[in-house]
Amino acid sequence: MTRRPRTVAVVAPYYPPKIGGVEQYAARVARAVADAPDLRAVVITTRADGLRTTVTTENGVPVVRLGAWLRLSNTPLSPLWPLQLRRWLRKARVDVVNAHAPVPGLGDLAVAVAGRRPAVLTYHAGSMHKGEPGSGAADRLIGVYERAVLPRVFARARRLVAVSPVSLAAGRGHAVSISPGVDTERFTPGEPASRRPRTVVYVGRMDRSSAWKGVDVLVRAFAQLAPDLPEARLKLVGDGDALPDLLALAGQLGIGDRVTATGALSGDALAEAVRTAAVLSLPSLTEAESFGMTLVEGMACATPVVGSAVGGIPHVVDDGETGFLVPPGDPAALAAACAKLLTDGDLADRMGAAGRRTAEERYAWPALTDRYLELFRTL
């Protein structure tokens, strides 16, 4: 008798076409499972809007999108999810649950309702404390969650996956480390960085609830280097409700005509934006930045990178080798690092080439997803 493939449910609060590191990570795991002859994938995620559940097939993978009743900060929520998750785990005949949790919500619930099914919890975040003015109440709630609730979720999961050394799952006895990866066949080098237009690019969301991304610091840094580099440009790739504020800030600083916003890009368009930039920057401010996916995409394109020395970024960027690390929240230091790469072509090309080698050796997706498949098979 032929044994049916084991079904793995990849449960994530966000999923493509929404753009972000968690979404791409979950999609890669689902695709690898779907391609394995002895495994079957189903994705359970949330809708961008609307209350009704939708079911589609995307790239050969069934995707169940649950409605969200409300959004708290950037987190979708619904009181119906416990019942809906149980129903879909039964209906899809799920054998293993792989929940992804960058924030409280759907991933935690999936682990809680998995029943006898082994659950693998992939935890993407360091501490989610915002540490911003006016965020005291939110930080207190986050503190309660991380101290009292999250350890119970971790204990219930059969295995934990930490995406970086600063993930709150890292170092626990039943945890393994599997970092995000990059598609090294899509994100490929273009011209050497020294021959590219002097463009600094940021890729990521720009929501007011994600002010810890520090994009305003990058705008202020660009304003400092702009007088000495009149041909330099800043490109903001992504969207969010803070984007108008950032463009207004650029106008106030006198650089409005040198800052462009492309909106959200994906696929080849995103790779081209990264491949043609002279520098890619991730100016995050807090431990909430547990990895820095866009940095790896930049490195794969032989684009030198500049990141903040905070969270998981120092585990991605080899300071002085593949790019520079600067203190978080320091526009002057960020401006100086970007200016050095924009004016020293040999240095930029050397760092770009080192970044490409690192991306191929450490972060190419196939080796990383193979570790997931092995994990699912052994549970």
pLDDT digits (tens, 9 = 90+) for 191-224: 999 999 999 999 998 998 889 899 999 999 999 9
Tell me the pairing of strands 159-162 and 75-77: unpaired
Nearest in space to 235 (alpha carbons), one of 153, 322, 294:
294
- CATH at 219: 3.40.50.2000
Q: What is the mean pLDDT of residues 283-292?
A: 89
133 band by pLDDT with thresholds 50, 70 and 90: low
End-to-end CA distance of the chain: 22
pLDDT at 223: 98
pLDDT at 144: 79
Domain-located, residue 21: yes
Q: Does residue 132 register a pLDDT over 70?
A: no
What's the total number of domains in the chain? 2
Q: Does residue 104 register a pLDDT over 90?
A: no
Domain-located, residue 73: yes
In terms of domains, do 128 and 199 share one? Answer: no
- At 64, the amino acid letter reads V
Q: What is the mean pLDDT of residues 109-119?
A: 96
Q: How many residues does the chain have?
A: 379
DSSP 122-186: EE--S------TT-HHHHHHHHHIIIIIHHHHHHHSSEEEESSTTSTTTT-TTEEE----B-TTT
pLDDT at 136: 59
- d(CA 222, CA 202) in angstroms, rounded, equals 12
In terms of domains, do 40 and 134 share one? Answer: yes
Paired tokens of 227: 């007088």
In terms of domains, do 353 and 251 share one? Answer: yes
pLDDT at 222: 98
Tell me which DSSP letter residue 199 carries. Answer: E
pLDDT at 19: 75
Tell me which DSSP letter residue 5 carries. Answer: P
In terms of domains, do 46 and 84 share one? Answer: yes
For residues 346 and 105, the model is more confident at: 346
In terms of domains, do 249 and 221 share one? Answer: yes
Tell me the pairing of strands 199-203 and 233-237: parallel
pLDDT tens digits, one per residue of 70-91: 877 667 889 999 999 999 999 9
Q: Is the pTM of this model over 0.85?
A: yes
At 95 the three-state DSSP class reads coil
Paired tokens of 209: 């609830």
pLDDT at 139: 66
Domain-located, residue 186: no
Q: Which of 132-136, 202-206, 273-277, 331-335 has the lowest mean pLDDT?
A: 132-136
- d(CA 16, CA 65) in angstroms, rounded, equals 11
- d(CA 353, CA 359) in angstroms, rounded, equals 10
Q: Does residue 126 register a pLDDT over 60?
A: yes
- d(CA 317, CA 321) in angstroms, rounded, equals 8
Domain-located, residue 336: yes
In terms of domains, do 282 and 373 share one? Answer: no
Q: Which of 20-34, 65-79, 163-177, 262-276 has the lowest mean pLDDT?
A: 65-79
For tokens 């753009």, what's the residue?
19
Whether a cis peptide bond, with omega within 30° of 0, leads into 17 is: yes
In terms of domains, do 95 and 110 share one? Answer: yes
pLDDT at 129: 58
Domain-located, residue 188: no
290 band by pLDDT with thresholds 50, 70 and 90: confident
Contact 156, 112 (CB under 8 A): yes
For residues 135 and 73, the model is more confident at: 73
| Domain boundaries, position 271 | 193-362
pLDDT tens digits, one per residue of 296-355: 999 999 999 999 999 999 999 999 999 999 999 999 999 999 999 999 999 999 999 999
- The residues, ordered by sequence, that sit 6+ positions from 153 with a Cβ below 8 Å of its Cβ are 101, 108, 111, 112, 121
- The residues, ordered by sequence, that sit 6+ positions from 184 with a Cβ below 8 Å of its Cβ are 300, 359, 360, 363, 364, 365
Element (H, E) at 282: strand 279-282
Domain-located, residue 1: no
- Crossing angle (nearest 10°) for helices 293-300 and 345-362: 110
In terms of domains, do 234 and 295 share one? Answer: yes
In terms of domains, do 30 and 78 share one? Answer: yes
- d(CA 363, CA 181) in angstroms, rounded, equals 4
Q: Which of 8-22, 234-248, 328-342 has the lowest mean pLDDT?
A: 8-22
Q: What is the mean pLDDT of residues 341-370?
A: 97
| Region for 311 from its dihedrals, namely left if φ exceeds 0, alpha if ψ lies in -120 to 50, beta otherwise | left
In terms of domains, do 350 and 370 share one? Answer: no
In terms of domains, do 212 and 90 share one? Answer: no
- d(CA 185, CA 255) in angstroms, rounded, equals 35
Side-chain half-sphere exposure of 284, counting CA atoms within 13 A: 25
In terms of domains, do 102 and 173 share one? Answer: yes
